[in-house]
Chains A and B, each alone.
Chain A
Amino acid sequence: MDIFAQQLVNGLVLGSIYALVALGYTMVYGILELINFAHGEVTMVGAMVALAVMGALLGVAPDLPGILVVIGGALVAIPACILLGYTIERVAYRPLRQAPRLAPLITAIGVSIILQNVAMLIWGRQYIAFPPILPQATFQIAGAQVSALQIFIVLLSGIAMAGLWFMVQRTRLGRAMRACGESREIASLMGVDVNRIISTTFIIGSALAAVAGLMVSAYYGLAHYYMGFMLGLKAFSAAVLGGIGNLGGAVLGGLLLGVIEALGAGYIGDLTGGFLGSHYQDVFAFLVLIAVLVFRPSGLLGERVAQRA
């Protein structure tokens, strides 16, 4: 089997999940210039809720087709995350909109800690397994082995991204969002209800996060109260790589980061003569992040913005 092709496929699948989460970061940043630190935790909650619902469904009706169970999980997880994202914005970020920049960042860290610990209280410290209900079929494509799940993940995230793009570029709501990204004050003078737009942004981002959480837990076969942290960091790195505030950039950054990680983990052993192994996989996201910030702080697709005082 061709290792390169295989790692490329793995990277693209992982990357499309990163991209979904990165979209949540980048949308919020585009409007509020706030790093929504708790976004990774929203993803985790999505995964946990979905798994809990799926477990309950299987307990009641063990013969239900796998796909229906997954849809059932998503149908509860998405509204749960939407409610969570909306509440976080209302309680922790909105009162601080006029405060110095550090303040909302610190509350965001606080919210993230709270969510982690509440999740630990509810679901415990152990890993929760994804029920083995998905089809196990695999295909050979260009020397790589691709599972049905991988294809499904890439397709679904592609659809979600296309939908988001359409909404932002072609609808009234999207236009209002873009206007708020340019300037909240002027948008409000043009009759845009800024608060409603910001809430909507959090809602959309959280819904995407729920989907991404479900995908991650299906892909790795497990979920954990701490899973949101690393995922959030990597998605944020992806958003910065693509140019934060830029939707296309988040997608590009997510895919690139996924591929870099997969190829890096696959080849780091050979490159360093066995000195560093694949357990350094998590380091790549940070190295990419630091490299981007040093050489092209505006990201691949971002515009150069003058520093604001």
Chain B
Amino acid sequence: MIAALRERPRLSLALLAVLLAVLPFVTGVLIGQSGVRMLDFALLYVLLALGLNLVVGYAGLLDLGYIAFYALGAYFYAWLASPHFGLHLPFWMILPMGTLFAAAFGVLLGAPTLRLRGDYLAIVTLGFGEIIRIFMNNLDAPVNLTNGPQGMDLIDPIQIAGIGFSGTQEVFGLVVQATHLYYYLFLAFTLAAILFAYRLQDSRIGRAWAAIREDEVAAAATGINTRNLKLLAFAMGATFGGLAGGLFAAFQGFISPESFNLMESILILCMIVLGGMGHIPGVIVGAVLLTILPEALRYIGDLQRAMLGEVVVDAANLRMLIFGLALVLMMLYRPAGLWPSRQRRRELTAEGEVVRHEQESLVDVQR
């Protein structure tokens, strides 16, 4: 059946579209509202993973503080659409400004650090993520900007054409839950982001990023302005993060610094490493998998209770443990991810061959 679909791309695309369109209703019937919420989150994470993939997968810059841009986008939305400052701007005004705001921070962070080698960059971005979180936690005095650890609530939901995305709404005579409306909105953004990422990959910029990723010195020698392009990668990644953050704030109606800790950054990194760095379908699969997997792991708690009479390993703990193991095992055994791009797989195996030959000729010098 898959082979048959592969020969008819239009048909399979149409099938996929129908599937995506009915997915929330099917989920709603099978699992209930919590299932639809999970889908919404999965889409947000796809958006985030695609953004981080621009930075890490395309340009090869390991960013461990990516969640900071998500946080900035979310707080920006909350400032302009909640009772906190009494502002209630519409989302189509806030989101573009929020993404620009996040992108500006991306450049601000990138500018001093991009001359550095990859691993320094990782630590500095990690530090930046922590700084942002510390500020969010403490900027409730003397001027109350973030409401500190309590977070900000009563954030306006998104409103399109007079339909507010909250509770149940009637759209074209149909009664629809807000989570369904958010699903379609997020889906639209995600599809746009996927298209954007594909076009970017094949563009002059995308090819320059690939060149920088593979060999920065050689890239610079061929006339690529490495500094500007790396800054651009940071800014674009931050844009995705800021957009997802704004959507998140509107969707949740509540944000607090807790949502933006280091583990979230690492979770998103896990998604793209697991799926296949630099390969869009792989990244999407990774993001969806890692959003749904933790939910599935909740049942492990019930399973333990049923079998052993108590919860020995609690689910959140187990989730992180599995993530850690997955990161290590993936790097050791499948460094290209579950669904790598064809080119990257070829590169990795070819490189392996060369290394093996070198090692053989050195007769165990390394060992």
Contact = CB atoms under 8 A, between A and B. Distances in A.
A35 B327 contact: no
Interface stretch (B124-132, B156-164, B289-297): B124-132
A93 to B, nearest CB: 10
A55 B115 CA distance: 49
A102 B62 contact: yes
Contacts of A35: 119, 122-123
B127 A290 contact: yes
B317 interface: yes
Contact of B112 (A100, A285, A293): A293
B350 interface: no
Interface stretch (A71-79, A108-116, A152-160, A257-265): A108-116
Interface residues of B, number: 49
A290 B320 contact: no
Given A109-B327, A113-B324, A297-B115, A120 B138 contact: no
Contact of B118 (A101, A112, A285): A101
Interface stretch (B7-15, B18-26, B211-219, B233-241): B211-219
Given A103-B331, A121-B313, A282-B134, A240 B117 contact: no
A114 B273 contact: no
A95 B329 CA distance: 11
A8 interface: no
Given A282-B130, A290-B124, A96 B320 contact: no
B331 A96 contact: yes
A99 interface: yes
Given A283-B131, A283-B134, A114 B120 contact: no
A117 B324 contact: yes
Interface stretch (A16-24, A43-51, A187-195, A245-253): A187-195
B131 A286 contact: yes
Interface string A278-309: 01101101110110011001000000000101
B279 to A, nearest CB: 15
A56 interface: no
A270 to B, nearest CB: 14
Interface string A84-110: 000000011001111111111111011
Interface residues of A, number: 56
A29 B47 CA distance: 35
Contacts of B126: 233
A286 B120 contact: no
Contacts of A280: 134, 138
Contact of B331 (A110, A185, A233, A286): A110
Contact of A110 (B119, B328, B335, B355): B328
B351 to A, nearest CB: 9
A130 interface: no
A156 to B, nearest CB: 28
The residue in A97, A105, A112 that gathers the most chain B C-beta atoms within 10 A of its C-beta is A105
Contacts of A282: 130, 134
B307 interface: no
Contacts of A290: 112-113, 124, 127-128
Contacts of A240: 120, 123
A202 interface: no
Interface string B250-289: 0000000000001000100100010000000000000000
B189 interface: no
B320 A286 contact: no
A106 B331 contact: yes
A106 B130 contact: no
B98 interface: no
Contacts, number: 131
B112 A277 contact: no
A64 interface: no
B16 interface: no
B222 interface: no
A224 B355 CA distance: 43
A202 B113 CA distance: 29
Nearest to B365: A188
Interface in A192-207: 194-195
Contacts of B130: 233, 282, 286
A102 B60 contact: yes
Given A107-B328, A118-B321, A286 B128 contact: yes
B124 A274 contact: no
A102 B118 contact: yes
Contacts of B332: 92, 95-96, 107
A99 B348 CA distance: 9
A288 to B, nearest CB: 10
B325 A114 contact: yes
A98 B355 contact: yes
Nearest to A195: B367
B142 A286 contact: no
A282 B138 CA distance: 12
A220 interface: no
A300 B112 CA distance: 18
B343 interface: no
Interface of B: 56, 60, 62, 64, 112-113, 115-120, 122-124, 126-128, 130-131, 134-135, 138, 142, 215-218, 262, 266, 269, 273, 313, 317, 320-321, 323-328, 331-332, 335, 355, 365-367
14 contacts: A96-B332, A107-B327, A109-B327, A113-B320, A117-B320, A275-B142, A277-B138, A282-B130, A286-B127, A289-B124, A290-B127, A293-B112, A297-B115, A309-B217
Shortest beta-carbon contacts, A-B, top 4: A110-B327, A113-B324, A286-B127, A114-B324
Given A101-B119, A280-B138, A294-B112, 20 more contacts: A34-B119, A92-B328, A98-B355, A104-B331, A105-B122, A109-B266, A110-B323, A110-B331, A113-B321, A113-B323, A120-B317, A188-B365, A274-B142, A286-B127, A289-B123, A290-B124, A290-B128, A297-B116, A307-B216, A307-B217
